[in-house]
Amino acid sequence: MKNSVQHYSWGSPSLLPGLLGIRNPEAKPWAELWMGAHPRNPSMVETESGPVPLNDFIARDPVGRLGKGPAERFGALPFLFKILAAGRPLSIQAHPGKEAALNGFARENAAGIPLGAFERNYRDKMHKPEILLALGDFSALLGFRSMDEIRHYADVLGVSVYGRLVTEARGDLKTFFRALMSFPEPGKLIADICSAARGQGEGTFEWVLRLEEAYPGDIGVAAPLYMNILELREGEAIYLDAGKIHAYLGGLGIELMANSDNVLRGGLTSKHIDLEELCAVLDFSASNPELFSPFRGGNGERIYRPPVDEFMLSRFDLPEGASLDLEHPDSCEILLCTGGRLRAEGVFDLGPGDSLFVTADHGPCTLEGEGTLFRAAVP
């Protein structure tokens, strides 16, 4: 497969080029490598007649290429596979569930809002659950803190206006969040919070100041005061279901999600923020962030199986001289090498960042060599 790179402004100039072994003398931001059939940027696959977009390749024989079950359920590749490289924080965001996405997409279509419009919330009718697995140290904000924790940080700061927002919420997260997000003078509030945060010498306040450097005056700068901070190590993963507020702060990771582009934002962005719609989809329950653990399969496979129909993720670490026959069910799969050197089917040489699309009717795929391999498939 030949995959496209997204050069969003938050991308790292070094992480993804470093993985791929590509020089980047212009220090251009490399944000995401997309592997899949999303119509905005489909991967290209080599065929006997030349390169073909993956979505067109699948459409020629959905059953043979997707598998009978996935073809009947989805009619197209239902997941999008990525390598994400965050050099600076991404927006605070959440994704809609199935019903919210279906209704929101229909509603905005009926209102005549163009798909590419700035104010568009729903660009398709799919939900967007996702799993992220760290390929090194990776920082994120995930889920709301409890109101007791939020009150503690407000007390430490001693910023009267912010403290009043916390007190007036009377223990209700949604009330607090709405009041903060709609505060009439966000720049002044953030300036006061940052002034009080300086010299605190504690990780939460350090993140507030780092976000202020990246997004001066943005109301999302206060997010570490009300969201959980999570530091992932290599190989650790998190799963994000509908309505889970989050923001990726920095690092390199594997991301696998339903094939959707629906994002509702809540700060750290110059893009559209629809507070009413965001609050309608958010899960306002307080939570402690938990890692998403794999279970063991055969051949040393580590399987990450979230509670969704669209995707599952596997990891294989092949030692030197290994040979592996990858059995698959009635499903296509994308294989991605992130380290070492592997040879597939005795024909395809895979190095870091190289990928293969394996059709459902292909049968087992044989791999040899030493390296790390990820597999995205339909359960």
pLDDT tens by residue, 291-325? 999 999 888 899 999 999 999 999 999 998 888 88
Q: Structure tokens of 368?
A: 């040899």
- The model's pLDDT over 265-276, given as tens digits with 9 standing for 90+, comes to 999 999 999 999
d(CA 101, CA 123): 9
Check whether 11 has a pLDDT greater than 80.
Answer: yes
- Confidence class of residue 328 from pLDDT cuts 50, 70 and 90? confident
Interval 178-187: pLDDT, tens? 999 999 999 9
Q: How many CB atoms lie within 10 A of CB 322?
A: 16
Q: Three-state SS across 92-142?
A: CEECCCHHHHHHHHHHHHHCCCCCCCCCCCCCCCCCCCEEEEECCCEEEEE
Mean pLDDT value across residues 329-352: 92
- Helices (runs of H) and strands (runs of E) counted in the chain: 11, 19
Pair 253, 133: CB distance under 8 Å:
yes
Answer for the pair 146, 228: CB distance below 8 angstroms, yes or no: no
Rounded Cα gap, residues 372 and 83, in angstroms: 14
- The catalytic site residues sit at 265
Tokens of 350: 């895979």
Other Cβ atoms closer than 10 A to 60:
10
| pLDDT score at 326 | 85
Rounded percentage of the chain residues whose pLDDT exceeds 90: 88
Taken in order 358, 364, 369, 374, the sign of the CA dihedral is: positive
Q: Which residue has the higher pLDDT, 170 or 41?
A: 170
> What is the per-residue pLDDT for 159?
95
Query: So what's the pLDDT on residue 321?
Result: 86
Determine the residue type at 153. Y
Share of the chain above pLDDT 70, in %: 100
pLDDT in tens, 195-253: 999 988 778 999 999 999 999 999 999 999 999 999 999 999 999 999 999 999 999 99
| Average pLDDT score over residue span 279-290 | 94
Q: What is the mean pLDDT of residues 160-171?
A: 97
Q: Calculate the alpha carbon distances from 355 to 1, 61, 151, 168, 345 in Å.
A: 6, 21, 47, 53, 13
Evaluate if residue 330 carries a pLDDT over 80: no
What torsion, rounded to 10 degrees, do the Cα atoms 115, 121, 126, 128 define?
Answer: 130
CA nearest to 176, candidates 150, 205, 214, 138:
150
Q: CB atoms < 10 A from the CB of 285, how many? A: 11
Q: Is 363 left (phi over 0), alpha (psi -120 to 50) or beta?
A: left
Place 254 in a pLDDT band, splitting at 50, 70 and 90: very high
> Mean pLDDT over residues 170-197, rounded?
97
- 3-class SS at 258? strand
Closest alpha carbon to 244 in 42, 58, 92: 92
Distance CA 279, CA 123 (A): 18
Q: What is the pLDDT of residue 300?
A: 87
CB 331 within 8 A of CB 377: yes
pLDDT score at 102: 95
pLDDT attached to residue 368 = 94
How high is the mean pLDDT of the chain? 95
At 329 the pLDDT is 67
